[in-house]
Structure 1
Amino acid sequence: MKKIAAINDLSGIGRCSLSVAIPIISALKVQCCPFPTSILSSQTGYPKFTFLDLTDEMTNYYKVWKDLNINFDCIYSGFLGSSKQIDIVSKFINENPDAFIVVDPIMGDDGELYPIFDEESCLKIKELVKISNLTTPNLTEACFLTGRNITKRNFSRNEVIQIAKDVSKLGPEKVIITGILEDGNISNIAYDKSTDEAFFTSIKYNNRSYSGTGDIFTSILCAMICRGFDLKYGVDIATNFIYKVVEYSSKFNDDRNDGIRFEQFLSYLTNI
């Protein structure tokens, strides 16, 4: 069975990060091997949470995997909360040269970088993107990676395609820029450098925003690519899955921090 090392934080409450990566990747018939960077009682969007930093244990953690001769088909890196964590993940990636590397360069959104990130850590994430095979920035992050104004939002499709191509020049063969709002829709643009092809997928935007949808999107994509499906099919599956679950979740008065009710839709993935 294929194996994905999923590097992210683990929240007890709130469907995001490893809490969604483990069931989503497993439903797609790929073994998800969690590599936790921290443990939280509840994700940070809630007004109260506990936080256990695992940075000092991360190197020991993956060295045991190395001692056990565990090989990974894919390494999926999500939220990394410090420069030290980024350095550890970079070393882990370099010690697994045969793995397909997916980096979600989480740094900011809506034209702003998250306060936790300083210039040094953002530049280190950019270095991580350079050694990836696939990266999934949102528009804010893609603009940072390519030296553009991160506050600009009104890009034409041709401009967004050029941004994706410029991100690919850093190193990754495949680039997906997520969460682009246009004409009442939310779109993703995918670019494959090997074929020089770009395509958009769009779903209707219902003005509801939930935590963790990006983690679900990238988790689906990782598993699909790991199983040998092409990029376009993987993006279509991920986009349609999120649309169905968001539409269903919007019927309930849930806290956005709870995330989307994906559990009722896992059979859609197990049938792929």
Structure 2
Amino acid sequence: MKILSIQSSVAYGHVGNSAATFPLQRLGHEVWPVLTVHFSNHTGYGAWRGPLLAPADVADVITGIGEREVTGPDGRAVSVLSTADAVLSGYQGAEEVGAVVLDAVARVKELNPRAVYCCDPVMGDVGRGMFVRPGIPEFMRDEVVPHADVLTPNHFELDFLAGTTTRTEAEVLAAVDTIRDRGPRDVLVTSVITDETRENTLEVVAVSDDGAWAVTTPQLPIAPNGCGDVTSALYLAHLTTTGSPATALERTTSTVFSILEATIAAGTREIQLVGAQASIAAPPDRFAARQLR
């Protein structure tokens, strides 16, 4: 699989493309990382250095990729963008960057109608609220999400996108259906905690045209930056290669849980992608998906 991944990048640590690229490559996929920022470290440290790339520069990089040519099935030269199987995006700090992403999605799909767009609608989280600037959540909801084929919100973001508050499993599924009616066919909801969730656990829910499934995992005492970026990348990869939301859910949650365990064992703030790479390449059989409908 070939993936155009438009995300942030850091030199130290793992968020954005610096979290998504290695796992995808470790699974054997080609990644074309396009950077929206290149910081020294993620902003959770409170201080960082490096450039925020202008939207025009991001678009220029994508244009340059499109100008590269390979030999197509009929022997004629075609743009390499026509060989892209997916576009992946995460945090979008400005509407202008979002417009660049949507233009790239449109271009890739024009050249390859089978390509999918996986969007991680990074906006906020429980306990933190919205951490993007005003206007971005509405832009994500109204302009970006309808173009996504695969969407990976957390529970907080799901509620915002659906315009509701979900306290039960049935309400979570209803909220997902509301979003799916707007475009995305596959939705993965992370960090789901309802009134019905067992103590010290959380759920990850996957919904598609074929049904809905959930995996329940222990709630670990750690919430490092970058896990959402890894989760979106892994789910896109496993969903595309297996065609099974349930299998993709099981593999993704098992790998991410193993990465978190390795991070706790190492006592580090940054997730242990390299140290846990065996669980990326060969996801352990740790969690079984239960069908919700």
**Aligned residue pairs, count:** 261
**C-alpha distance in structure 1 between counterparts of 2:86 and 2:94, whole Å:** 22
More off after superposition, 2-11 vs 13-22: 13-22
**Superposed counterparts of 1:1-272, under 5 Å:** 2-54=1-53, 55-68=55-68, 69-70=79-80, 71=82, 72-97=84-109, 98=113, 99-110=115-126, 113-119=129-135, 121-126=136-141, 127-149=143-165, 155-181=167-193, 182-183=197-198, 184-192=200-208, 194-195=209-210, 197-255=211-269, 258=270, 260-271=271-282
Question: Is the Cα contact below 8 Å between 2:238 and 2:252 reproduced in 1?
Answer: no
- Closer/same/farther in 2, CA of residues 206 and 115 from structure 1, 3 Å limit: closer
Distance in 2 of aligned mates of 1:109 and 1:177: 12
Backbone CA RMSD of aligned residues: 1.7
8 Å CA contact 1:105, 1:125 repeated in 2 = yes
Between the aligned partners of 1:115 and 1:247, the Cα distance in structure 2 is 27
Task: Work out the CA distance in 2 between the residues paired with 1:270 and 1:208.
Answer: 23
Instruction: Give the secondary-structure state (helix, strand or coil) at the position aligned to 2:171.
Output: helix
Q: Deviations over 1:14-71 (max 9, x none)?
A: 2211112111000111101101111100100013201311123011111112222112
Q: In structure 2, how many angstroms separate the alpha carbons of the residues matched to 1:228 and 1:253?
A: 34
User: Sequence identity of aligned pairs in percent?
Assistant: 19
With a CA cutoff of 8 Å and minimum separation of 6, indicate the structure with the bigger relative contact order: 1
- Report the CA distance between 1:115 and its aligned residue: 4.1
Cα separation, partners in 2 of 1:101 and 1:237, compared to 1, 3 Å: same
CA contact (8 A) 1:4 1:31 kept: yes
For residues 187-218 of structure 1, what are the alpha-carbon distances to aligned partners after superposition, in whole Å with 9 as ceiling and x for unaligned? 111111x22x1111111012221111111111
Offset at 1:113? Answer: 4.3
Q: TM-score, normalised by structure 2?
A: 0.84
CA drift at 1:271:
4.0
Q: Distance in 2 between matches of 1:139 and 1:205?
A: 15
Separation in 2, partners of 1:208, 1:249 = 9
Distance (whole Å) between structure 2 residues aligned to residue 94 and residue 248 of structure 1: 39
Cα separation, 1, equivalents of 2:272 and 2:66 = 36
Distance 1:210 1:115, change over 3 A: closer
**Normalized against structure 1, the TM-score is what?**
0.90
Distance in 2, matches of 1:51 and 1:83, equals 21
Consecutive unaligned residues in structure 2, runs of 5 or more: 69-78, 284-293
Q: Judging changes above 3 Å, is the alpha-carbon distance between structure 1 residues 79 and 178 closer, same or farther for their aligned structure 2 residues?
A: same
Change (3 A) 1:102 1:160: same
- Which structure has the larger Rg over C-alpha atoms? 2
The runs of at least 4 consecutive aligned structure 1 residues that moved more than 6 Å come to none
Indicate the SS of the match to 1:144: helix
Distance 2:64 2:274 in 1: 32
